[in-house]
């Protein structure tokens, strides 16, 4: 039973791993979740979940976010490569 609980906890931690930088880029641009929600015509709760990495936007929406923030879409993603290369 303990092993199952640990596996469930590990899975939950992996699911919450940061995969986007939307919150950070919004802060860098001086914008808020509400601004992004209104600009894209998306629900505030949805945008909040993107910003906390509880949920990820579609690829199409990620490009819309990049356009709204005037950034390269790659700036919105957490790199999968280390910088030591």
Average pLDDT, the chain: 87
Is residue 3 domain-resident? no
Q: What is the pLDDT of residues 1-18, one digit of tens each?
A: 555 555 555 555 555 678
Q: What is the pLDDT of residues 15-33, one digit of tens each?
A: 567 899 999 999 999 999 9
Total domains, the chain: 1
Is residue 7 domain-resident? no
Domain that holds residue 57: 18-76
Rounded CA separation 4/22 (Å): 33
State the CATH number of the domain containing residue 31: 1.10.260.40
Is residue 30 domain-resident? yes
Let me know: does 26 contact 69? Beta carbons within 8 Å. yes
């Amino acid at each position: 039973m303990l092993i199952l609980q640990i596996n469930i906890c590990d899975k939950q931690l992996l699911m919450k791993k940061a995969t986007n930088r939307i919150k950070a880029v919004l802060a860098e641009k001086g914008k808020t979740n509400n601004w992004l929600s209104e600009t894209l015509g998306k629900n505030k709760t949805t945008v909040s979940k993107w910003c906390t990495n509880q949920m990820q936007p579609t690829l199409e929406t990620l490009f819309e976010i990049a356009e709204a923030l005037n950034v390269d879409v790659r700036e919105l993603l957490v790199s999968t490569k280390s910088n030591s290369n």
